[in-house]
Amino acid sequence: MTLVSGVNIAVWFVLYRELPIQPVGIAGGASGIGIMLLFCAAYVFGCAFRSFLPRADVQRICLFDTWLSSVMVGRSVATVAEICFVAQWAIILHQLGTMTGAETAVNAAWVIVPLILIAECLSWYAVLTRNYLGNAIENSLWAVAFFIIGVGLCRLLPEFHGAVRVVLAVGIAGIAGFLAFLMTIDVPMYLNRWRTGDADGDKRLTPREGLRDVSTRWVVTHDLAEWKDEIAWMSLYFSLAVWSSLALCVFYSLENHLPRYRTGAAIVSVSPDAVAGHGASGAVPIMNVSAAEALGKNAAP
């Protein structure tokens, strides 16, 4: 994980150097990619920090005896990183939805960030109280958020052809795999821990007690048995998820090239009365607004 995170950081610096952050004559273009790279940096460096100093929050276990391994520090870094990650998805959905007039994608962009904010609150609740039910609900909300993202991408699929359609299809397939992992492995794992913990009489903490606990206590262990359930999600999280964050930056930077991949299925709607009026007075028939916009975009170089 450390090696992968080092490569991820190097790739981010390459993107920072190569992507057109400086103004290029298009209003809002520079600031948009700059924000995407900033959100990506929070996620890339946040995940790298968590891979360099692994820890399991509720169990309070870590690999290295340092205050940087405390749950308070690690969970705070994770919270910022995860909100920035979902914000990247919201920006992409809003960009594509606005470009194509797909309200489904635009609405998805507005919904997913509040969902993840709620999920982060539940994550903190689970960490502070040592109640795994909060983790189960948290990851269920992540599943709901990415299902909504998947719906938005499916709505956008017929709007594009060629390479862009392939990228959207790959994104949908990746989301399907992520949802399968959450619902068959991750969420059941936390539910099982919650039921087992209750049966074993594990001590729950109040949020106030938990706040002190996460700030002052961390248990160093190299016992594989303690870490085996964490390996799967950490390996996927610090690799594939980070790669998707980097890919979102690249995709966003190609905004000016996307119109050439539009399907061009705009249909001009002209009523018989408009045709008759045109013949009598020489007036130009009125075409459907969305069709006119689409034709304009297809005509763009």
pLDDT in tens, 227-265: 888 888 888 888 999 999 999 999 999 888 888 888 874
Q: What is the pLDDT of residue 232?
A: 81
Q: What is the pLDDT of residue 259?
A: 87
Please say if the pLDDT value at position 157 is more than 90: yes
For the stretch 166-209, pLDDT in tens is: 999 999 999 999 999 999 999 999 999 898 875 444 678 888 99
Across the chain, mean pLDDT equals: 84
Please say if the pLDDT value at position 289 is more than 60: no
How would DSSP label each residue in the chain? -HHHHHHHHHHHHHHHHHS--S--SSTTHHHHHHHHHHHHHHHHHHHHHHHHS-EETTTTEESS-SGGGSHHHHHHHHHHHHHHHHHHHHHHHHHHHHHHT-HHHHHHHHHHHHHHHHHHHHHHHHHHHT-HHHHHHHHHHHHHHHHHHHHHHHHHGGGB-HHHHHHHHHHHHHHHHHHHHIIIIIHHHHHHHHHHHHHHTPPP--HHHHHHHHHH--EE---HHHHHHHHHHHHHIIIIIHHHHHHHHHHHHTGGGGGGGB---------HHHHHHHHHH-PPPPPPHHHHHHHHHHH--
Range in 32-36, 43-47, 297-301 the model is least confident about = 297-301
For the stretch 6-31, pLDDT in tens is: 999 999 999 999 887 755 444 444 46
For the stretch 54-77, pLDDT in tens is: 998 988 899 999 999 899 999 999
Average pLDDT of the residues in 276-300: 43
Q: What is the pLDDT of residue 165?
A: 94
Q: What is the pLDDT of residue 299?
A: 44
pTM above 0.85, yes or no: no
